[in-house]
Amino acid sequence: MDDEYLLAIENPPLPPVDKVYDFYVTTIGGMEDVVLRDLREQLKQITQVKVEKGRRIGRIFFRYTRSPQKLLGLHSVENVFALLADFGGVTVGQPGLLRIAKQVGKVDLIPAAVIHDILHGLKDQASFELSCTAGKRHRFSASELHHMVQAVLTMKYDLDPGNEPYHLHLQVQGRRALLGLRLSHKEQSDRNYRLIQVDGDLPPSAAYCLSKLAQIRKHHVCLDVRCGSGTTLIEIARNMNVRSLIGVEAYPEVLYAAQDNARAAGVSLSLAGADPEAFGMGSGTVDRLICNLMRRKGEPPIGLGAFGGEVVRVLKPDGLAVLIAEDRHEIGTVLNEIPGVHLLKRRTLHLRGRHPDVYILQKS
């Protein structure tokens, strides 16, 4: 009897691990269509797509059979999850809680953990960190949900709480429960360059989506008025290779923040001090103008009449302006009084408790 045969008896091959092909991403509410276009562009082949718009966040479900590494290169999303379970029949009381625990107990977490290991390296011991959310109608809390499901996971898997965990998220909304394993170590929308943040800044994923809405091209001159910590310009520079990126800010300390973040991101921006009612740019020199008009704590309101006149002045013919503002009535009044521009689109975003509108304007 040869040695290979004996080894095969003593160490029989492990059964193959099932592969995960079903995923979902979370998005800034109001940007679902932009994110879907980005998914199709970046991943090329996704199938079984389902878009769910939400009041706070949106979700896009899809099947993807190629390298999961590309999922971590998505800049338009908040997070990427391997889909582990999606089931209904959840009632609002204790029986619903027990049903969730029973269904989660049937789920095999290992295939999704294997994908995580492929992306980030093998872990010595399995550990799962669970976060839970539950709807207001349910008679069990997120804490009770967490306690019950964590107990099921502990019984099923030999967990070592000292290890770096795999992150699971369980959401119960209405009669539905959704369980996913997050594929990134941290929030997908986090960026290492954000050393300093400014009140009112857009999240990086929203800034990236905004640049897509602005239809920015490499040859464009792009101006960001009230550029804040530079997030929007940095996202454009990193992902669109635009050469002429200009940011203006009225407050020196905010401008310093943008400079520090740009250095950390390794991108080149032209940053200057300027009033939001007088941009300091030549007339008809800008292809794309972006401005986040959301109020910052401690800052006076902007004179929107003068601001609107400056927008028209600096834009080239057919140039686009993308404005983010919370006061719909005030912006509407300004738009009616500004000659030479027309509104192409308006959409509402859901940004962690704030609900600004995005206006896309075109100069005639």
**In three state form, how does the secondary structure of the chain look?**
CCHHHHHHHHCCCCCCCCCCCEEEEEEEECCHHHHHHHHHHHHCCCEEEEEECCCCEEEEEEECCCCHHHHHHCCCCCEEEEEEEEECCCCCCHHHHHHHHHHHHHCCCHHHHHHHHHHHCCCCCCCEEEEEEECCCCCCCHHHHHHHHHHHHHHHCCCCCCCCCEEEEEEEECCEEEEEEECCCCCCCCCCCCCCCCCCCCCHHHHHHHHHHCCCCCCCEEEEECCCCCHHHHHHHHHHCCCEEEEEECCHHHHHHHHHHHHHHCCCCEEEECECCECCCCCCCEEEEEEECCCCCCCCCCCHHHHHHHHHHHEEEEEEEEEEECCHHHHHHHHHHCCCEEEEEEEECEECCECCEEEEEEEC
The values of phi and psi at residue 97, to 5°, are -65, -45
The CATH number of the domain covering residues in 204-363: 3.40.50.150
Burial class (CB in 10 A: 0-12, 13-18, 19+), 345: exposed
Which amino acid, one-letter code, is at 231? T
Residue-by-residue pLDDT tens, the chain, 364 positions:
454 544 444 544 544 556 899 999 999 999 999 999 999 999 989 999 999 998 789 999 999 999 899 999 999 999 999 999 999 999 999 999 999 999 999 999 999 999 999 998 887 776 888 999 998 889 999 999 999 999 998 888 866 666 678 999 999 999 999 999 999 988 888 899 999 999 889 999 999 999 999 999 999 999 999 999 999 999 999 998 888 999 999 999 999 999 999 999 999 999 999 888 888 899 999 999 999 999 888 888 777 778 888 999 999 999 999 999 998 888 887 788 777 889 999 999 999 889 999 999 999 8
**Where are the chain's structural domains?**
14-182, 204-363
**How far is residue 11 from each of residues 2, 8, 138, measured CA to CA in Å?**
15, 5, 49
Whether the Cβ atoms of residue 108 and residue 62 lie closer than 8 Å to each other: no
The values of phi and psi at residue 222, to 5°, are -115, 125
Going edge to edge, which strands form the sheet with 357-363? 270-273, 244-249, 221-225, 286-292, 315-325, 357-363, 341-348
Whole-number pLDDT of residue 302:
79
Whole-number pLDDT of residue 162:
63
Q: How many angstroms separate the CA atoms of 258 and 151, rounded?
A: 46
CA angle 202, 206, 212 (to 5 degrees): 125
Q: How many angstroms separate the CA atoms of 337 and 251, rounded?
A: 28
Query: Residue length, the chain?
Result: 364
Residue 9 neighbours by CB under 8 Å, 6+ apart: none
Is the model's pTM score more than 0.85? yes
The values of phi and psi at residue 61, to 5°, are -100, 145
CA angle 69, 74, 78 (to 5 degrees): 120
**How far is residue 240 from each of residues 2, 135, 220, 245, 266, measured CA to CA in Å?**
61, 39, 11, 11, 14
Q: Which two tokens stand for residue 288?
A: 């794309």
Whole-number pLDDT of residue 296:
86
Whole-number pLDDT of residue 38:
96
Domain 14-182 has CATH 3.30.2130.30: yes
Q: How many angstroms separate the CA atoms of 118 and 112, rounded?
A: 10
